[in-house]
Amino acid sequence: MVGEIISVGTELLLGNIVNTNAAYLAEQCAALGVSCYYQTCVGDNEERLTETLKTAFKRSDVVILTGGLGPTQDDLTKEVVAKLMQLKLVEDSKAKEMLISYFEKRGIEITDNNWKQALVPEQSIVMYNDNGTAPGIIAEKGKKTAILLPGPPGEMKPMFEKYVVDYFKQRNPFVISSVTVKLCGIGESKVESEIKDLIDKQDNPTIATYAKTGEVHLRVTAKAENEKEALKLIRPVVKKLKTRFGEKVFTTEESVTLEQAFVDLLLANNLTVCTVESCTGGLVSARLINVPGVSEVYKFGHVTYSNKAKRKIVGVKKSTLEKYTAVSEQVALQMVKGAGVFSKADVAISVTGIAGPEGGTEDIPVGTVFIACDVKGNTRVEKFQFKGNRTKIRENAVAAALTLSRKCVLEYITQVSFGNKKDK
């Protein structure tokens, strides 16, 4: 099936917002086996939208449109589609009811222009909107289909997942399924070279690599008659990847983040954690606190940006700061030790570095970061050299801190189970 995406909205043409809808829809379509060769953005303009639609229907079976479904005069996507497909607009009683209840709940009076949101092209599938007022529509005529979705991502995505995914699955004689294997502590090119043999001979399933900050994701995708058959094809490849990359695989669940995997690891082993941060300024703790339920393991965190704070809060020695400077292995170690002792957490993480743009020297250039981790007295410190601007360097440092800490905890667990590590 060939599809294409049309994003309607003057705000896109003016660059006021970035078109994340198109990327989302493109990714979903690829996963559902719908090939999309074109994406177009056009304003809320009848003539231009009509032309764009005509061109799209000439070359595609399914046209997915977002935006222009609202109550104002500007919103004309539905009207243009109905006219071109020669479908009458009729009132949908459930859509009307939902509209009334939406406004009643909020205690707002419905203005006249809102009623047009209850109109839908005759014989179409109506996608009721749980997160806004404009319903979506799947309209078919002959061999062509138009799928109309609201513009706000918070309304569009749940609607796509609730209605459109099933619609495509029904129309497509096969399903496309995928599992993502997420790695940390290894670069994209290293990953690619280690699975070159698998990529070279790939057919079904396929393997695609995606580089994220501090992570590499491998998406294994298979095409089959049904979900079960697809997973049967995927499973041995995922197993192979897990064997090759070992502990570097932190999850194979789409929804699990690195911080979630780390917090789960701590929870499973009854370990608590604390953080002390300089250049990352609280971002490591903020990422841990992204995880709901982290209060079970998170003791507390400190942001010691200045030298004085490093001394006062976590007892870094003045002489160490003078001799080695704040961005040094020695200071990272004293930070992690001080934090651990004070908080009595089982795991302590420290980060000190120089995020720039000012303050770099020949010996310690911008991007130098020391990260230390202590797990019940077993301490490790590593030096990193990151590239990019202040934000990029800090984001990389956060990912590296989580990766290193996870590694230290895993090592500790392994060693303890063999009885040859100190346990305070």
Measured from the CB of residue 296, what is the shortest distance to its own copies in angstroms? 9
- Token pair 């060939």 is found at 2
Report if residue 12 touches its own copies, rule: CB under 8 A.
yes
Residue of 8, 32, 34, 36 interacting with its own copies (CB under 8 A):
36
Residue of 109, 112, 358, 362 interacting with its own copies (CB under 8 A):
358
Measured from the CB of residue 418, what is the shortest distance to its own copies in angstroms? 32
- Token pair 């935006």 is found at 67
Instruction: Give phi and psi for 400, each to the nearest 5.
Output: -65, -35
Q: How many residues bind its own copies (CB under 8 A)?
A: 68
3-state secondary structure of 6: strand
Q: Considering only residues 361 through 390, tell me which ones interact with its own copies, judged by CB under 8 A.
A: 390
- Cα 285 to Cα 381: distance, rounded to the nearest angstrom: 18
- Cα 210 to Cα 220: distance, rounded to the nearest angstrom: 11
Report if residue 281 touches its own copies, rule: CB under 8 A.
yes
Q: Taking contact as CB under 8 A, which single stretch among the options 27-35, 73-81, 109-117, 195-203 is the one that binds its own copies?
A: 27-35
Measured from the CB of residue 345, what is the shortest distance to its own copies in angstroms? 10
3-state secondary structure of 369: strand
Measured from the CB of residue 377, what is the shortest distance to its own copies in angstroms? 21
Residue whose C-alpha is closest to residue 249's, from 277, 281, 217: 217
- Count of other CB atoms within 10 angstroms of residue 410: 16
Q: Name which of 189 and 226 has its Cβ closer to its own copies.
A: 189
Residue whose C-alpha is closest to residue 247's, from 336, 184, 203: 184
Amino acid at 234: I
Report if residue 45 touches its own copies, rule: CB under 8 A.
yes
Measured from the CB of residue 374, what is the shortest distance to its own copies in angstroms? 18
- Cα 131 to Cα 93: distance, rounded to the nearest angstrom: 18
Report if residue 103 touches its own copies, rule: CB under 8 A.
no
- Token pair 């992570």 is found at 215
Report if residue 52 touches its own copies, rule: CB under 8 A.
yes
Q: Please list the residues that pair with 224 across neighbouring strands.
A: 175
Task: Judge whether 353 and 304 are in contact, CB under 8 Å.
Answer: no
Q: Taking contact as CB under 8 A, which single stretch among the options 43-51, 332-340, 367-375, 377-385 is the one that binds its own copies?
A: 43-51
**Is the N-terminal amide bond of 205 cis, ω within 30° of 0?**
yes
Rounded to 10 degrees, what is the CA torsion of 302, 305, 309, 313? 20
Report if residue 288 touches its own copies, rule: CB under 8 A.
yes
Task: Judge whether 314 and 342 are in contact, CB under 8 Å.
Answer: yes
Report if residue 268 touches its own copies, rule: CB under 8 A.
no
- Cα 35 to Cα 26: distance, rounded to the nearest angstrom: 9
Q: What is the DSSP letter of 247?
A: G
- Cα 159 to Cα 248: distance, rounded to the nearest angstrom: 35
Report if residue 42 touches its own copies, rule: CB under 8 A.
yes
Q: Considering only residues 300 through 339, tell me which ones interact with its own copies, judged by CB under 8 A.
A: 300-306, 308-309, 312-313
Q: Name which of 71 and 281 has its Cβ closer to its own copies.
A: 281
Using the Cα atoms of residue 401, residue 404, residue 406 and residue 409 in order, give the sign of their dihedral.
Answer: negative
Report if residue 356 touches its own copies, rule: CB under 8 A.
yes
Letters for 191-230 (x = contact with its own copies by CB under 8 A, - = none) are -----------------x-x--------------------
- Cα 162 to Cα 217: distance, rounded to the nearest angstrom: 26
Measured from the CB of residue 307, what is the shortest distance to its own copies in angstroms? 9
Q: How far is CA 142 from the centre of its chain?
A: 38
Q: Taking contact as CB under 8 A, which single stretch among the options 45-53, 113-121, 122-130, 174-182 is the one that binds its own copies?
A: 45-53
- Cα diameter, the chain: 82
Residue of 89, 186, 233, 289 interacting with its own copies (CB under 8 A):
289
Measured from the CB of residue 412, what is the shortest distance to its own copies in angstroms? 23
Task: Judge whether 301 and 276 are in contact, CB under 8 Å.
Answer: yes
Q: Name which of 26 and 100 has its Cβ closer to its own copies.
A: 26
- Cα 283 to Cα 335: distance, rounded to the nearest angstrom: 16
Q: Taking contact as CB under 8 A, which single stretch among the options 129-137, 222-230, 288-296, 401-409 is the one that binds its own copies?
A: 288-296
Measured from the CB of residue 305, what is the shortest distance to its own copies in angstroms? 5
Report if residue 267 touches its own copies, rule: CB under 8 A.
no
Measured from the CB of residue 385, what is the shortest distance to its own copies in angstroms? 15
Residue of 73, 255, 270, 295 interacting with its own copies (CB under 8 A):
295
Contacts with its own copies by CB under 8 A lie at 12-20, 22-30, 36-43, 45, 48, 52, 55, 208, 210, 275, 277, 279-286, 288-290, 292-295, 298-306, 308-309, 312-313, 356-358, 390-391, 394
